[in-house]
Structure 1
Amino acid sequence: MSVSLKPIADQVIVITGASSGIGLATARMAAARGAKLVLAARSRDALDTLAREIIAGGGQALVVVADVAKQDDVARIAQGAIERFGGFDTWVNNAGTGMYGRIEGIPVEEMRKLFDVNVWGVVHGSLEALKHLKTRGGALINLGSVESHRAIALQGVYSATKHAVKAFTDEFRAGVEMDGAPVSVSLVKPAAIDTPFTVNAKNYLDSEPQHVPPVYAAETVADAILHCATVPTRDIFVGSGGKMIAEAEHFAPGLVDKGMAFAVAPATPSGHPPLRAADESILDRPSERLVTMGNYPGHTQKVSLYTKAMEHPVLASAIVAGLGLAAGTLLKTLPHSPATITGSVDATIAKALHIHLEARPGHEEDVQDLLDDILACVGREPRTGPWYGVRYTRTTFGIFEAFPDDAARQAHLGGRGAAILMERSNDLLARPARIDKLDVLVSKELFAGRSARVRA
Structure 2
Amino acid sequence: MEHRYKPLDRQTIVVTGASSGIGLATARRAARSGAQVVLASRSEEALRKICDEINNSGPGRAVYAVADVGDEVQVQNIAEVAVKEFGGFDTWINDAGVVVFAELRKLPTKDHERLFQTNYFGIVFGSLTAVEHMRNRLGGGTIINIASTNADMPVPILGGYSATKAAVKAFSDVLRMELLEQDIPVAVSVVKPSGIATPISEHGLSHMEDRGKVMPPLYDPEVVARTILAAAQRPVRNITVGGTGRFTSIARSLVPGLADRAIGWLLPRVQSTGLPKMPDSNLHSAGEDGQVYLSGQRQGLRASPYTRARLHPNLAVGATIGLAALFLMSQRRR
TM (norm. structure 2) is 0.92
Cα deviation, residue 247, structure 1: 0.8
Cα deviation, residue 179, structure 1: 1.4
Q: Identify the match of residue 219 of structure 1 among 216, 219, 222.
A: 222
Taking the aligned partners of 2:62 and 2:298, their CA distance within structure 1 comes to 34
Report the counterpart of residue 68 of structure 2 in structure 1.
67
Report the counterpart of residue 132 of structure 1 in structure 2.
133
Aligned pairs for 1:164-313 (under 5 A) are: 164-276=167-279, 280-295=280-295, 300-313=300-313
Q: Which moved more, 1:235-244 or 1:207-216?
A: 207-216
Which amino acid is the alignment partner of residue 84 of structure 1?
A: E
Report the counterpart of residue 79 of structure 2 in structure 1.
78
Contact 2:114–2:284, Cα closer than 8 Å, also in 1? no
Contact 1:210–1:296, Cα closer than 8 Å, also in 2? no
Cα deviation, residue 288, structure 1: 3.6
- Write 1 or 2 for the structure with the bigger share of strand: 1
SS of structure 2 residue aligned to 1:119: helix
Report the counterpart of residue 27 of structure 1 in structure 2.
27
1:151 and 2:154 equivalent? yes
Report the counterpart of residue 105 of structure 1 in structure 2.
106
Contact 2:155–2:264, Cα closer than 8 Å, also in 1? no
Q: Determine which structure has greater relative contact order: mean sequence separation of CA pairs < 8 Å that are 6+ residues apart, divided by chain length.
A: 2
Which amino acid is the alignment partner of residue 204 of structure 1?
A: H
SS of structure 2 residue aligned to 1:171: helix
Deviations 1:287-310 (A, max 9, x none): 243000013999620111111111
Contact 2:145–2:190, Cα closer than 8 Å, also in 1? yes
Taking the aligned partners of 2:180 and 2:318, their CA distance within structure 1 comes to 27
Taking the aligned partners of 1:190 and 1:309, their CA distance within structure 2 comes to 15
Report the counterpart of residue 50 of structure 2 in structure 1.
50
Contact 2:146–2:192, Cα closer than 8 Å, also in 1? yes
Taking the aligned partners of 1:57 and 1:210, their CA distance within structure 2 comes to 34
Return closer, same or farther for 1:130/1:261 CA change in 2, 3 Å cut-off: same
Cα deviation, residue 233, structure 1: 0.8
Taking the aligned partners of 2:285 and 2:240, their CA distance within structure 1 comes to 30
Contact 1:3–1:232, Cα closer than 8 Å, also in 2? no
SS of structure 1 residue aligned to 2:142: strand
Cα deviation, residue 255, structure 1: 2.2
Taking the aligned partners of 2:142 and 2:81, their CA distance within structure 1 comes to 18
Which amino acid is the alignment partner of residue 131 of structure 1?
A: E
Return closer, same or farther for 1:320/1:273 CA change in 2, 3 Å cut-off: farther
Taking the aligned partners of 1:6 and 1:168, their CA distance within structure 2 comes to 25
Contact 2:92–2:130, Cα closer than 8 Å, also in 1? yes
Return closer, same or farther for 1:94/1:260 CA change in 2, 3 Å cut-off: same
Aligned pairs for 1:113-128 (under 5 A) are: 113-128=114-129
Contact 1:151–1:160, Cα closer than 8 Å, also in 2? yes
Cα deviation, residue 313, structure 1: 2.6
SS of structure 2 residue aligned to 1:194: coil
Please list every run of 5 or more consecutive structure 2 residues that lacks an aligned counterpart in the other structure. Answer: none
SS of structure 2 residue aligned to 1:87: coil
SS of structure 2 residue aligned to 1:83: helix
Taking the aligned partners of 1:131 and 1:38, their CA distance within structure 2 comes to 17
Report the counterpart of residue 161 of structure 1 in structure 2.
164
Contact 1:211–1:296, Cα closer than 8 Å, also in 2? no
Which amino acid is the alignment partner of residue 198 of structure 2?
A: T
Contact 1:39–1:63, Cα closer than 8 Å, also in 2? yes
Larger radius of gyration: 1
Taking the aligned partners of 2:312 and 2:220, their CA distance within structure 1 comes to 21
Report the counterpart of residue 17 of structure 1 in structure 2.
17
Please list every run of 5 or more consecutive structure 1 residues that lacks an aligned counterpart in the other structure. Answer: 334-456
Taking the aligned partners of 2:105 and 2:43, their CA distance within structure 1 comes to 32
1:92 and 2:97 equivalent? no
Contact 2:147–2:168, Cα closer than 8 Å, also in 1? yes
Taking the aligned partners of 2:242 and 2:276, their CA distance within structure 1 comes to 29
- Write 1 or 2 for the structure with the bigger share of helix: 2
Return closer, same or farther for 1:154/1:60 CA change in 2, 3 Å cut-off: same
Deviations 1:392-435 (A, max 9, x none): xxxxxxxxxxxxxxxxxxxxxxxxxxxxxxxxxxxxxxxxxxxx
Contact 1:150–1:249, Cα closer than 8 Å, also in 2? yes
SS of structure 2 residue aligned to 1:4: coil
Q: How many residues align?
A: 322
Cα deviation, residue 159, structure 1: 0.3
Cα deviation, residue 3, structure 1: 2.8
SS of structure 1 residue aligned to 2:92: strand
Taking the aligned partners of 1:43 and 1:210, their CA distance within structure 2 comes to 23
Deviations 1:294-337 (A, max 9, x none): 13999620111111111013245678999xx9xxx9xxx9xxxx
SS of structure 2 residue aligned to 1:215: coil
SS of structure 1 residue aligned to 2:219: strand
TM (norm. structure 1) is 0.68
